[in-house]
Structure 1
Amino acid sequence: MKFGATIKDALYQDWQASYIDYGGLKRFIKDRQAKHQWDDADEADFIKALASELDKVVKFQESKIAELTDKITNYESEVKDLIAAADASHQPQRSNGDGEAEGEDGDVEAGGADDDSLSDTSDDEFEDRFVDLEEDLANVIADVHDLGHFSHLNYTGFVKIVKKHDKRTGFKLKGHFMKDFLEKRPFYRENYDGLILQLSRLYNMVRTRGHPIVGDSSAGGNQSAFVRQTTKYWVHPDNFVQLKLVILKHLPILVFNPEKEFEPDDAAITSIYLDAPDLDLYMGRLEKTEGAEAIRLRWYGGMGVKQIFVERKTHREDWTGEKSVKARFPIAEHLVNDYLAGKYTMDETFEALRKKGKKTDKEVDSMIKLAREVQAAVKHKKLGPVMRTFYNRTAFQLPGDARVRISFDTQLSLIREDNWDGVTRSGNNWRRTDIGIDWPFPQLPDSDKELFPYGVLEVKLQTQMGQEPPEWVRELVSSHLVEAVPKFSKFIHGCATLLPNRVDLVPFWLPQMETDIRKPATQKAQIQRPPTSHSNTNSGTPSETRSTDLAQYTEPVSDDEEDEGNRHIGATADEAGWADLDPQAAAEAKAYREAQSKVAKGPGGRSEQSHLVAAPPKPPKSNEFFPKLTPANLSKLLDSRYELERDRGLNQQGPSTEAREEAEATGAAEATGNPSGLSLVPGRVEYVSSFRAGQGKKIAVPVRVEPKVFYANERTTLAWIEFSVIISAIGIGILSFSDPHDDIALAAAASFTTVALLAILYTAWTYWWRVRMIRARQAVQYHDYIGPTALCGILLVAVIVNFSLRLKQGI
């Protein structure tokens, strides 16, 4: 689809004049080339026009952000006044002692039904005003969403028009424009965190009518039966703003110090993971072995923070009846090196806390035990700094209520801290000092950093046994905004990507990094303006109308702009839900399309437009194939490479070579949060039935091994041995009770005994093979198709031969 048509459909009509004039710039190139060959004067005029468009876009975005900030501030003052007035109206009036209320002048006011009606009227008025404010804020949320969409759409327009210019004129402008124009005015990097934080605080005040919910911090943990569920998801950069806005309508952003002005450093979280040169802790965490540990040092904020947290995460298998735990204790930054070297212990520090009464005896004892165990592990396992993880976290949670906790990490970066390859990074210090929190760390070489292309969403639910999670949470995690990646680990991903020479086993998600996770938009988790909105606009935007919600903007397949009409038919799994149609109507539409496709087929059974549809790719030939992951919640991860055709919501072919070159060569990857250079252009739906590891690598498939698995193997082996003993007993019985000169009986006894011996040998080999595979946690086919079939076949042959010989002897 042409980008010129795409931008016209996707833009917000009220802001149309402020978008890049993509059509005008394209006509500028065509008109000049029609008159004469492109020269330096034309190039200067085009750059001037391009700069003017950029200035227009940047100024509008800045003014809109300022306008929204002022609007939120004004609403905040109004909400506070309304809450104060509502609280004052509910305060009991002063009594004169006779049961009659006094007015301000001491006059006695008559009580009775009139007072009740006045009070009811006042409450209704306050409630109406709160409802109006909630609707107004919903419009502001939609404005922020559309502004984020505005930034992304305009950035794509600039990249595409410059690429078209370079292709048609022969002048190379792309590198110069990216460096001297877009990098100096990076409007596309605005994350709107300040606005979102203000909106979250204000929307929560209005939603709770000025009385935020406050609960026990355990929030359900005291109940005898509850379920904790933690799931991780990847989020494409295009969906960052929308995801935050969707969540804040249900959960406020968790702020530890509401009185403090928001600063970018407040969201920064950095961790230093420790490990040995043989990556023993990495392997334990990757294979999920019982008791596997991860030891890290974490701090919140910039490099000037003086308090560091030493944390240890311990994995526990479900069959043990225990839960995986994370324990930590604080330590002063200047003491970390001595503590890791064993020169300093935390006993005195924690005893001082006990004496001051800041911690209970139980807490102090557990902290002392933890500090000693971590120190011993560092010494005996020779642990040192290996990997740094940095990200900015937005946490959503009701204060004091842990039933639903959502954290969203962006700008995730993995950085090497080791000195193993002869390069001094952290040296003798516990962390390297040449970097801080200055993402994307331009001073580091690419070999020392991995800039993760997606955001990481973590949803933690704690519900009573038998209860369902909130409906909005279920809609969110099943929407197009997220992609489930169970058991994703930042530490594991960093080691697998930055230490390839030391890692032979990689996580299951690593081969999927080159596939795009964007999917066709659904009606779930959308930002919509209230239907009764009293705003002065009536133009359609992605946040206003249902039709445009279904066709959110995604970058076109190519900007050749010569392939209009080449559309490909595809169907979603849930067409009725996707299109918001009655199931019967959806079925009729599907039947009609199938009938039309049959009519369109040629004499040979192929479609006359078969040149428009690419043949399914053949799987590469390799001996290193791994079966499809069995957990049902991983099927979504494997069905990847989606593409949305804007006007019809249909799946198209994969990205063209031109689109891939654009993502790699224009710097668009870094600008959209994908500096690793991975192609994030959507492709067709591809159903993956196997994984292939890189050269010399193996994929760690998440396989849960419990003791009952070994017991099941033993039971199966004993059953086979029992059956073999029975068969051998039959052979011995025939031999014992038959005539010594009966050759047929001897042959029958020998055949049954041979079958029994072969069955015992096969059973022993199968048992040994299964034990080895279970211990190695290999995702192989444990079901035995060959053994039972072969045993039954051999027994059948033995019986038939025996009867045949007897019948022949009788004849």
Structure 2
Amino acid sequence: MRFGKSLTKAQYGPWKQHYLDYNKLKSLLREDDPDKPWVDEDEQRFVDELVNVQLEKVNSFQTATYKSLIERTSQCESKLEKLVGKDEASKDKESELSSSLKELDSIREEINRLERFSRINYTGALKAAKKHDRRRGANYKVRPLLQVRLASMPFTSEDYSPLLYRLSAMYAFIRQQLDGNQERAMSNGETHQRMIKYTSYKFFVHPENLLELKTSILRHLPVLVYTPTSTKAVDAVQKDPTITSLYFDNKNFSLYTGKVEKGSGAASLRLRWYGQLRDRPELALEKKTLAEGDDSEEIRFNIKAKYVLPFLKGEYKMEKQTAKLRQKHGANSEEVQNLEKTVDEIQDFVKTDNLEPILRASYTRTAFQIPGDNKVRISLDTNMAFIREDCLDVDRPVRDPDQWHRTDIDDAGMEYPYSGIRKGEISKFPYALLEIKVREGSSRRHSEWIDDIMSSHLVCEAPRFSKFVHGVASLFEDHINTLPFWMSLLETDIRKDPEQAFEEEQEKKNKRAEDELAIGSFIGSFGKSPLNGGGSQMSKKQSIGQNGKFPASKMLSPVQKPKESEDGSEAQNLGVSSRLKQFFPAFSSSKYAQSKRNKVQLPPGVKKPEYWIKDVGTVKVEPKVWLANQRTFIKWCHIAILLSTLSVSLYNSAGLHSNVARGLAVVYTIIAIFAGAWGYGLYISRSRMIRRRSGEDLDNILGPTIVCLGLSVALCLNFGFKVS
């Protein structure tokens, strides 16, 4: 289906006027009149319409709609806060809870519409730019400019996680109130608490930052290499393994579309192996299904290369492996039943969706993990390349249709950079991919250094990145009508100045604090409601914040009873609920905590110290600091001596009748005295500041400015008097 028809089909009626006008952009390209010369005015008209009109229209609508959703969410929170404490049997309360539930459903549906709105318009802009460069690209290229512009627009990178978390908290409260079944919620929470879950974070890494990033990680985790059979510590000569993932899809790319749109139930299938296929490694066939939220369910089994093609054709059902399990564990054992069920499910999946190999992703993986400790797992994938494996072109297939993989690559043992592959069949990823997995319940000691890495200038956040999605988007752009948002990052320089990265992280933290305050004030206001004190736990993984950088922590017990405040009144909302503490263990948004942060009351007889403890006692300063101050003083002395020498020589050579020369000599002498006095005063002042470890600025441009102006005026007067 052409993209114009896909865009029309995907439009939501009430928002129709806010979508990208793709037909207008096509008309500006004058596809019906290709012989007419394309001049600068035509180019300016097209670029202005695309960048300044269409994209601004889309971005403005997305921003306004998102703000409206936030306001509606806040209003719903305020409405629910008023219901706390009312009689549970009240009909009015039940009616208001039902209406709030409908409002939450409406907000949730609009969030989904807004995300689809952003994605289809993002794809449309890139499609229009590609069409332009293909037809008018001999002298004009607009796609690089568009990629930079898209990367800076909020609608391509908006994170809905904070808003979704607020909705989740309200959903839990409403359903508990309507169902009145707290015991079931508690039991569910305990069950999920025993399950091992990970929070995953993905980042792009520029090649220039790879070594610094590796050394930063090595301070905390050793290097591991994952082999097909086991995980062993890497030795001095062992190389990082090359991993190949062969992904499946059909001619309509339905698996890709489901993956991009993040719909619940979307599935993907891949065949994975380590090293070269000619070395006969063990292969793993894996099916991953997206569950609600960011969770996923994965089933897999190992298979030999000679059985892959018969299995895909439905001629082989892993009978040999099943027979071995029956002999080892028994005919009706759980292992046998699980394998048979997995084989049938994957084989039905291949047959129902007409799946075939579409592309392979090859990369070198460096893994970091403490042996026997899976709290933190880090992988760094480099030399990443995506290669076509399809048979979409019947006349010129990339892969032999009678084979399940490209024999030209595997038989020859090709390695990166795959120079023997034709252009257009390979896409090399320009960055490395860093993935950090933190297990729920990990200590704060782990999360501190991880936070430092994730907020540093060494990485660029790439949430929801998928090798399968990126490979299809980069190699089959003409066959798909939806593109992932991170494609615009590939045309920009992701390197950041350390100071700039720090400022951006501070802004994100401030935004997260605002989101947390909104969530905390809502949850904390429930008091002893089931949401706050009923013992219910979150049953699934959440990723919160603008950049998702909140390592999960251990499930906490219900909120404890508030203590008495100093004035005798109860400090309401002392602790945030266990749900909020799960993600923000070091922050409380209660009124008590806010008052303590705003004003610190010291005990009687204790006064605020005048000096920090670090400033008391022997001052230890590095010698280079003192030497730098001394060098500056010597430079000022050097200037003073040069000027005084000039003034004395000028005065002695002037004679009794040259009043102008003698006057200028006096001026130079005054400047020399000022330079010497300024240098000495600056030396004493800075020495005092170093001893006190003062935070004041050490620079002072007043003295150099006076000396330069004085010399300039004296030289100008000297020249003027000489000419006259």
TM-score range relative to shorter protein:
0.3 to 0.5
Q: Report the structure, 1 or 2, having the larger helix content.
A: 2
Calculate the TM-score normalised by the size of structure 1: 0.36
Calculate the TM-score normalised by the size of structure 2: 0.40
